C-alpha cells in the first residue's frame, strides 16, 4: 500500500509538472498613447527560441516550453521592449510605449554585426524615416538632415534646384588631398556622390583661361540628390574614426549608412501620398533706393534723364523680382506597397518629383522605382535583393562667379531699374549694360544635367548552425552603383555675351557624357557563442571596392546659325578623363557582452588601394571601445535614473588620396596634357610633381561620453567629447626649380578637431490626449592645424585683399585673413567654422488625430567672404550703398569700392554669417477611422492631410541672400564665399496620404 501511495503521488507531481510545461498564453498588444493595436510585435519566451508575432489586430498566442518562472519578452521596432513574468497567467495584455528615446534601436557596429543603442559605445546619430520626411517634403536627402545631427555642419552650396550640399562631420578632415565629404552606403552599396561639372567654365571663365576643363565653380549638384527620401527607413551617421574605422581607408570624413524600407508579415499595405507645394525666394535683398538726386552716381552720364523719363512713364522695373520672383510649383507623388509572410517580404515604390525653380526655366525632376525583397529559403539560407532605378533632371542656369558677364546674378546687380531688358514685338532682346541681358540668357540658354542611375544590392546569409549557446553564419554581400550623367550647355550665337566680350565665340554648344560604374563585394563569417554570462561575437571578412569613372566633355564654338550640333561648328575642343581604382580590405572584429553590463569591442581593418603610392602595401586601421551600463549592475539603486551608460572609444580611419575633382589626375602621378606646339601635337608636363610614396591621410579619434535616461524613460541626455587628429595631410609643397617642377603633392601636415556634442530628449506630457516630444541638440567643433611641413599658404578664395583662407600651424584651417589699414601683412578677420550650432525639435500629438512639429536651427559665430555686395557696388546698385554702418562719414558702397582699389582693407568683405532658421514646421490631421470606414466600405485604413513648410523664416544680420552659401562647391576648406549665388527658396506644401 505504501508503494501504491508513492506511485500515485509521483504521478500527480508529474501531471502537475506536465501541466506547467504546457501553459498557453494569449493576449493583445496595444500602444497606450493611442489605444491602437500593434501588428508584428515579437513575443519571445525568454531564454528560448520559442516565439510568435502579433496579428493585424494585435493578438497573439504562445505555448510555453517551460511555464515555471517563464518570462515573455515583447519587442517591436520603435517601441520600448517589455519583459513580463507569466506567473501562471493565461491572458496578458501588454502596452508598449513608443521608444521616443531610441533606447531599443539597433545600430551598426561592424560590417556584419549590429548592437542595440543601449549597448553602443559610440555617439552614433540616427535619423528615422519619420524625422526625415514626416514633417515636410525635403528637396533632397542631404537637405533633410539639416539641424537633425549633432556634430554635423551642413551648408547649401547653392539654392538652385537639385541640391548641392556640403556635409562636414566633426569638422573638416582634409585640406584638399583627401575626401572632404562622408562615405555614403545604402543597403550595403557604396554610393558615388560626385559633383560633376557641366563645363560652363568655357563661357564664364570663372577659373582662369576659360578652358573646357571644368571648374569647382560650375555649381553642379551632388549625386546624393538622386535618392528618394521617402524610400528611406533610417539614416545612421558614423561621425568620427572611433565609429567608422571598420570602413577603413575611405572613412576619414565619416560614414552615412542608409537603410531603405522593408516589408513585414501580414496583410499587404498600400500607401499613396501626394504633396503640392510652392517655392519662392527666401530673402529678397532689394536694390539701391534711386532718386533724381543720386541717379548720376548710380548710372553715370545720361542716367538722370533716363531715370526721370522712366519715372514719368512708370517704367522703373524691379529686376530682382523679374529674375528671382517666379513662384515655382512643386508636386511629389509616391505610391508604395509592402507585405509578405513568414518566408517572403517585399517593399516596392514608385515616385515622381517635379519642382520648378524661382528662376524661369530652372527646376528639378526625379523619377524613382524601387523593389526590395527578402526571402527565407530555409533555416539555412535567406537572401535579400534591393533594386532602385532613378532618372533625374536638373536645370540650374548660370550663377556664382564669372569673369565675362555671363552669370545671371552678376548681370542683375549691374542693371539699373530704368534699363530696358525686355524683348520687342519680334522677340528681339536689347543688350544689357554689363556683358549680358540676363532675361535673354534665361530665355534662350540651356543648362541641363540628365542622370540615369541603377543601384542594386544583394545579400545572402548562410546559417551553418544555430544552437542554444552558439551559431555560425556566413554573410555575403554585393552592390552596384552605375549611372550616366549627360550635361548639356547651349548658348546660341544671338546671346549678347556670345557676340561680344571676353568669351564671345559666336555660339557655344557643349555635351558631357559621364559614366560611373562602381561595385563592391564582401564576404564575412560571424561566430557567436555564449560562455556562462558572456556573449561573444567574432566576425572576419574581406571586402573589394571597384570604382570606375569616365568623363568626356566635347564643346563646339562658332556655331552655324540656329544650330545646336557638335558637327555644325568651326571650333571643337574636348576634355576626356578616365579613372579606375580598386580597394581591398581585410577585417576582423571581436565583441563581448557581459549581461548587458559591460560591452567591449575591438577590431582592425587592413586596406590596399591602387590610389596609394604602393598599391600592395597594407594600411591598418584599429578600433576599440567599451560601454558600461551601470544601471544593470547589482549595486545600482537610483530610482529616478533608469539607465546610465559610460562609454569610451578609439579608432583610426583613412583618407584615400583623392584624384583632382576636375581633371581626375592622381596625386601619386605627374600629370600631363596634350597641346598644339607650332602646329604639331605634343604634351605638356604639369609643373606639379606626383609623389609615388604618397599614403592615405589618417585620422585618430578618442571619444568618451555618457548616456542617461530618467523618470521612467521620459528624459534622456547624451554628452560626448571627441578629439580627432588627422595626420599625413596631402598638401602641395614647393620644389626647387632645378628639379624641373615647381610643386609636389605629398604628405606634409596634421590637423586636429576637438568638440563637444550634447543632446537632450524629453517627453513632458504623454497621455491619450497629448503626447509632447522635444529634442534639443547643441554642438561645437574647434579645428586647428597642429603641424605644417610646408610654408603657410592661402587657399580657397580669390585674393588676400578680398579675404582669403590661410593654412598656418597653430591656427584654424578655416581662418579668414586679409589686410586692414595699418597692418603689416594679413591679419585674422574671421573663421568659417561656427562657434556652435543648436537645434530644437518639437512634436506634439493631441487628441490622437492632430500632429504639430517644428524644427529651429541656430548657427553662431561663423564668417563669410561676402563679395556680392562689392560686385553690386561696381554697378552702383547695392541695397546698402548709401548707408554708413561704421559712422565714418563714408558710405558702405564707396568704402568697399575704395578698399578694393586700394587693396588695404579686407575687413569690409568679411561678414558675420550667424543665423537662426525655421527649418521645418507642419500640422497634420488624421481623419476619424469610423468616418473613413463608413466612407470607403473598409477599403481605406487611414487618410491623413496636412500643411507644412521648410526654410520659411530666416533671422540674420548677414547682407547676402543666405549665409549658407559656397561659391566653390563642396571643397573641404573654402565654404562661405558669396559671389552672386542662386538664392535660397522657402517652400510650403499641402499633403494628402492614404493608406489602404
pLDDT in tens, 663-684: 777 777 777 666 666 666 667 7
Give the number of residues written for the chain.
996
* pLDDT for 218: 67
pLDDT at 570 (0 to 100): 80
Q: How far apart are CA 146 and CA 155, in angstroms?
A: 9
Nearest one of 149, 128, 144 to 781, comparing CA atoms:
149
The predicted pLDDT at position 18 comes to: 41
The CA-atom distances, in angstroms, between 679 and each of 336, 557, 570, 675 are 61, 20, 17, 9
894-911: per-residue pLDDT in tens? 999 999 999 999 999 999
183-186 vs 255-260, strand pairing mode: parallel
Question: Residue 962: pLDDT above 50?
Answer: yes
pLDDT attached to residue 631: 92
Q: In angstroms, rounded to a whole number, what is the distance separating the alpha carbons of residues 116 and 890?
A: 63
Cell numbers for 9: 503521488
Grid cell for residue 637: 539603486
Which is higher by pLDDT, 622 or 224?
622
843 grid coordinates: 512634436
Non-local (6+) Cβ contacts of 822 within 8 A are none
Maximum average pLDDT range among 107-111, 454-458, 768-772? 454-458
Alpha-carbon gap, residue 766 to 845, rounded angstroms: 9
Largest pairwise CA distance in the chain: 132
**pLDDT at 9 exceeding the cut of 50:** no
Query: Could you tell me the three cell numbers for 896?
Result: 568697399
Mean pLDDT computed over 703-708? 95
DSSP state of 737: G
> Is the per-residue pLDDT at 92 higher than 60?
yes
Question: Does the pLDDT value for residue 987 go beyond 90?
Answer: yes
Q: How far apart are CA 990 and CA 988, in angstroms?
A: 7
Pick from 217, 398, 393: which is nearest to 323 by CA? 398
Q: In the prediction, which pLDDT does 6 show?
A: 44
Average pLDDT over residues 630-650: 92
Mean pLDDT of all residues belonging to the chain: 88
Q: What is the mean pLDDT of residues 952-974?
A: 87
Cα 773 to the center of its chain, rounded Å: 24
**pLDDT, greater one: 700 or 402:** 700
User: What are the tens digits of pLDDT across the range 780-829?
Assistant: 999 999 999 988 888 888 889 999 999 999 999 999 999 999 898 899 99
CA distance linking residue 905 with residue 870, whole number of Å: 13
> Which burial class, exposed, middle or buried, applies to 309 when counting CB atoms under 10 A from its CB (0-12, 13-18, 19+)?
exposed
Looking at the chain, the whole-number percentage of residues with pLDDT higher than 90 is 54
**Position 158 pLDDT exceeds 60:** yes
Residue position matching grid coordinates 599614403? 695
Predicted local confidence at residue 101, as pLDDT = 65
User: Predicted confidence band at 110 (pLDDT cuts at 50, 70, 90)?
Assistant: confident
- For 691, half-sphere exposure in the C-beta direction (CA atoms, 13 angstrom radius) is 22
Question: Residue 215 — pLDDT band, cuts 50, 70, 90?
Answer: low
Q: What's the confidence (pLDDT) of residue 3?
A: 44
Per residue in 727-754, pLDDT (tens digit) is: 999 888 777 777 777 777 888 899 999 9
- Decide which of 673 and 762 is more confident: 762
Q: Please tell me the predicted confidence (pLDDT) of residue 857.
A: 96
What three-state secondary structure class fits 882? coil
| 145 vs 156, more confident | 145
> Residue 38 — very low, low, confident or very high, per pLDDT cuts 50/70/90?
confident
Do residues 51 and 44 touch, judged by C-beta distance below 8 A?
yes
Euclidean distance between CA atoms 911 and 965, whole angstroms: 13
Cβ 605 vs Cβ 696: under 8 Å: no
Alpha helices in 520-595 (DSSP H): none
Give the Cα-Cα-Cα angle 595, 599, 602 (nearest 5 degrees): 145
Strand partners, 962: none
- List the grid coordinates of 542: 574581406
Cα–Cα dist 477/460, whole Å: 6
pLDDT at site 212: 65
Q: Are strands 743-747 and 688-689 parallel, antiparallel or unpaired?
A: parallel
Amino acid at each position: 500500500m505504501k508503494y501504491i501511495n508513492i506511485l500515485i503521488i509521483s504521478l500527480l507531481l508529474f501531471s502537475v509538472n506536465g501541466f506547467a510545461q504546457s501553459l498557453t498564453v494569449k493576449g493583445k498588444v496595444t500602444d497606450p498613447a493611442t489605444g491602437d493595436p500593434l501588428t508584428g510585435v515579437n513575443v519571445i519566451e525568454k531564454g528560448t527560441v520559442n516565439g510568435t508575432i502579433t496579428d493585424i489586430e494585435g493578438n497573439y498566442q504562445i505555448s510555453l516550453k517551460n511555464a515555471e518562472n517563464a518570462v515573455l519578452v515583447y519587442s517591436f521596432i520603435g517601441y520600448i521592449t517589455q519583459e513580463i513574468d507569466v506567473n501562471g497567467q493565461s491572458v496578458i495584455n501588454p502596452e508598449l510605449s513608443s521608444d521616443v528615446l531610441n533606447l531599443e534601436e539597433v545600430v551598426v557596429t561592424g560590417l556584419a554585426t549590429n548592437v542595440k543603442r543601449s549597448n553602443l559605445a559610440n555617439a552614433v546619430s540616427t535619423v528615422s524615416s519619420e524625422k526625415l520626411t514626416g514633417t515636410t517634403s525635403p528637396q533632397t536627402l542631404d537637405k533633410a538632415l539639416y539641424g537633425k545631427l549633432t556634430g554635423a555642419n551642413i551648408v547649401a552650396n547653392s539654392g538652385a534646384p537639385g541640391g548641392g550640399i556640403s556635409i562636414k562631420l566633426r569638422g573638416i578632415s582634409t585640406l584638399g588631398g583627401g575626401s572632404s565629404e562622408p562615405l555614403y552606403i545604402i543597403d550595403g552599396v557604396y554610393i558615388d556622390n560626385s559633383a560633376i561639372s557641366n563645363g560652363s567654365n568655357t563661357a564664364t571663365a570663372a577659373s582662369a583661361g576659360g578652358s573646357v576643363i571644368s571648374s569647382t565653380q560650375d555649381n553642379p549638384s551632388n549625386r546624393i540628390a538622386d535618392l528618394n527620401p521617402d524610400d528611406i527607413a533610417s539614416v545612421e551617421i558614423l561621425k568620427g574614426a572611433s565609429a567608422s574605422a571598420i570602413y577603413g581607408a575611405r572613412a576619414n570624413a565619416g560614414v552615412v549608412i542608409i537603410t531603405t524600407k522593408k516589408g513585414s508579415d501580414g496583410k499587404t499595405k498600400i500607401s499613396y501620398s501626394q504633396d503640392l507645394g510652392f517655392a519662392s525666394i527666401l530673402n529678397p535683398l532689394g536694390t539701391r533706393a534711386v532718386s533724381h538726386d543720386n541717379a548720376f552716381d548710380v548710372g553715370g552720364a545720361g542716367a538722370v534723364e533716363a531715370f526721370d523719363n522712366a519715372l514719368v512713364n512708370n517704367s522703373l522695373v524691379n529686376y530682382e523680382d523679374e529674375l528671382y520672383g517666379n513662384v515655382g510649383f512643386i508636386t511629389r507623388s509616391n505610391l508604395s506597397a509592402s507585405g509578405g509572410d513568414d518566408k517572403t517580404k517585399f517593399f516596392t515604390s514608385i515616385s515622381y518629383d517635379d519642382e520648378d525653380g524661382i528662376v524661369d526655366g530652372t527646376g528639378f525632376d526625379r523619377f524613382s522605382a524601387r523593389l526590395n525583397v527578402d526571402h527565407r529559403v530555409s533555416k539555412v539560407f535567406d537572401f535579400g535583393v534591393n533594386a532602385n532605378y532613378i532618372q533625374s533632371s536638373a536645370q540650374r542656369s548660370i550663377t556664382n562667379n564669372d569673369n565675362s558677364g555671363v552669370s545671371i546674378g552678376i548681370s542683375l546687380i549691374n542693371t539699373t531699374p530704368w534699363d530696358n531688358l525686355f524683348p520687342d514685338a519680334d522677340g528681339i532682346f536689347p543688350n544689357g549694360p554689363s556683358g549680358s541681358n540676363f532675361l535673354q540668357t534665361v530665355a534662350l540658354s540651356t543648362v541641363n544635367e540628365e542622370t540615369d542611375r541603377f543601384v542594386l544590392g544583394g545579400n545572402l546569409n548562410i546559417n551553418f548552425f544555430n544552437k542554444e549557446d552558439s551559431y555560425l553564419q556566413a554573410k555575403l554581400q554585393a552592390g552596384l552603383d552605375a549611372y550616366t550623367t549627360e550635361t548639356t550647355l547651349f548658348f546660341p550665337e544671338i546671346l549678347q555675351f556670345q557676340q561680344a566680350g571676353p568669351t564671345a565665340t559666336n555660339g557655344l554648344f557643349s555635351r558631357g557624357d559621364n559614366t560611373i560604374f562602381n561595385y563592391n563585394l564582401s564576404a564575412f563569417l560571424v561566430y557567436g557563442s555564449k560562455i556562462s554570462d558572456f556573449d561573444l561575437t567574432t566576425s572576419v571578412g574581406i571586402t573589394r571596392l571597384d570604382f570606375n569613372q569616365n568623363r568626356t566633355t566635347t564643346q563646339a564654338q562658332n556655331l552655324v546659325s540656329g544650330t545646336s550640333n557638335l558637327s555644325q561648328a568651326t571650333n571643337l575642343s574636348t576634355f576626356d578623363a578616365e579613372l579606375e581604382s580598386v580597394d581591398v580590405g581585410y577585417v576582423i572584429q571581436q565583441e563581448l557582452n557581459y549581461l548587458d553590463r559591460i560591452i567591449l569591442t575591438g577590431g582592425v581593418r587592413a586596406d590596399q588601394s591602387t590610389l596609394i603610392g604602393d598599391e600592395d602595401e597594407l594600411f591598418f586601421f584599429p578600433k576599440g571601445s567599451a560601454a558600461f551600463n551601470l544601471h544593470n549592475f547589482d549595486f545600482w539603486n537610483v530610482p529616478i535614473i533608469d539607465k546610465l551608460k559610460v562609454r569610451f572609444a578609439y579608432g583610426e580611419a583613412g583618407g584615400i588620396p583623392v584624384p583632382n575633382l576636375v581633371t581626375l589626375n592622381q596625386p601619386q602621378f605627374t600629370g600631363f596634357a596634350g597641346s598644339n606646339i607650332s602646329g604639331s601635337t605634343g604634351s605638356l608636363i604639369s609643373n606639379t610633381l606626383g609623389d609615388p610614396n604618397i599614403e592615405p591621410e589618417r585620422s585618430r579619434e578618442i571619444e568618451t561620453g555618457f548616456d542617461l535616461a530618467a523618470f521612467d524613460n521620459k528624459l534622456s541626455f547624451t554628452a560626448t567629447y571627441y578629439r580627432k587628429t588627422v595626420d599625413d595631410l596631402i598638401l602641395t609643397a614647393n620644389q626647387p626649380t632645378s628639379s624641373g617642377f615647381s610643386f609636389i603633392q605629398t604628405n606634409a601636415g596634421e590637423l586636429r578637431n576637438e568638440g563637444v556634442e550634447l543632446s537632450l530628449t524629453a517627453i513632458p506630457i504623454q497621455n491619450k490626449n497629448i503626447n509632447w516630444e522635444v529634442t534639443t541638440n547643441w554642438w561645437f567643433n574647434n579645428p586647428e592645424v597642429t603641424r605644417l611641413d610646408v610654408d603657410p599658404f592661402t587657399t580657397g578664395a580669390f585674393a588676400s585683399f578680398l579675404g582669403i583662407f590661410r593654412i598656418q600651424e597653430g591656427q584654424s584651417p578655416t581662418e579668414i585673413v586679409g589686410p586692414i589699414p595699418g597692418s603689416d601683412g594679413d591679419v585674422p578677420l574671421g573663421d568659417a567654422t561656427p562657434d556652435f550650432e543648436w537645434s530644437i525639435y518639437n512634436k506634439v500629438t493631441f487628441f490622437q488625430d492632430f500632429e504639430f512639429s517644428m524644427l529651429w536651427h541656430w548657427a553662431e559665430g561663423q564668417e563669410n567672404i561676402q563679395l556680392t555686395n562689392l560686385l553690386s557696388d561696381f554697378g552702383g546698385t547695392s541695397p546698402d550703398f548709401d548707408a554708413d554702418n561704421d559712422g565714418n562719414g563714408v558710405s558702405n558702397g564707396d568704402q568697399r569700392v575704395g578698399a578694393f582699389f586700394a587693396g588695404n582693407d579686407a575687413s569690409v568683405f568679411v561678414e558675420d554669417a550667424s543665423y537662426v532658421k525655421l527649418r521645418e514646421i507642419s500640422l497634420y490631421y488624421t481623419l476619424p477611422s469610423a468616418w473613413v470606414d463608413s466612407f470607403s466600405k473598409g477599403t481605406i485604413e487611414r487618410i491623413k492631410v496636412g500643411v507644412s513648410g521648410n526654410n520659411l523664416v530666416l533671422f540674420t544680420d548677414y547682407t547676402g541672400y543666405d549665409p549658407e552659401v559656397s561659391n566653390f562647391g563642396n571643397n573641404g576648406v573654402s565654404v562661405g564665399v558669396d559671389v552672386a549665388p542662386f538664392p535660397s527658396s522657402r517652400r510650403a506644401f499641402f499633403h494628402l496620404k492614404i493608406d489602404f
